[in-house]
C-alpha cells in the first residue's frame, strides 16, 4: 500500500518498488450519496465506507437503494446472518442496468433471504436505541 505513479506503459512505482502489469484499472473509490431524509443526519447510519468496520453483527439491517453497492452490502450481511431489507425507490433492482440483470440479482437475493420493498418511500429516520452496540455515535 502506498502512493503510486505510472513510470511506463506497463509499470507503476509504489514506495520505490516497480510493479509490472498487462492492464491497469484506476479505482479511485467514491462516497455514498446520502438521501435528504429527515432524521438521517442525527441517526447512526452506515455506508459502504464503514459497514465492514462494525464490532458486532446487526440483527437487522435496512439498506437504502437498489444499486450495485447497496445490493452487494445487502447480500453480504444476509450471508453473515443479519435480517436484511432493501428499500428500493423504483420498481426494480439495478435500475441503471439491463432489466434482466436486476431480475437475476433479485432472484439471488430472494434465495439468500433478503426482503426487497419496491417503490419504497422513506419519510423519516428515527434512532430509538442509543445503546445499540457496534453503531457509530
Cα–Cα dist 117/93, whole Å:
10
Q: Mean pLDDT by 10-residue block, N- to C-terminus, for the chain (137 residues)?
A: 89 93 79 87 88 89 94 95 97 96 97 97 86 52
| Res 137: pLDDT | 44
pTM over 0.85: no
| Res 120: pLDDT | 97
Please give the order of strands across the beta sheet that includes 17-20. 4-8, 11-14, 17-20
Amino acid at each position: 500500500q502506498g502512493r503510486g505513479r505510472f513510470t511506463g506503459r506497463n509499470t507503476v512505482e509504489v514506495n520505490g518498488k516497480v510493479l509490472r502489469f498487462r492492464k491497469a484499472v484506476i479505482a479511485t473509490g467514491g462516497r455514498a450519496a446520502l438521501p435528504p431524509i429527515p432524521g438521517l443526519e442525527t441517526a447512526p447510519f452506515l455506508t459502504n465506507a464503514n459497514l465492514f468496520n462494525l464490532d458486532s453483527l446487526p440483527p437487522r439491517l435496512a439498506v437504502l437503494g437498489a444499486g450495485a453497492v447497496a445490493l452487494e452490502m445487502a447480500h453480504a450481511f444476509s450471508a453473515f446472518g443479519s435480517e436484511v431489507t432493501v428499500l428500493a425507490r423504483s420498481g426494480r433492482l439495478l435500475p441503471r442496468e439491463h432489466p434482466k440483470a436486476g431480475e437475476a440479482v433479485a432472484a439471488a437475493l430472494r434465495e439468500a433471504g433478503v426482503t426487497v420493498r419496491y417503490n419504497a418511500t422513506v419519510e423519516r429516520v428515527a434512532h430509538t436505541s442509543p445503546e445499540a452496540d457496534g453503531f457509530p455515535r
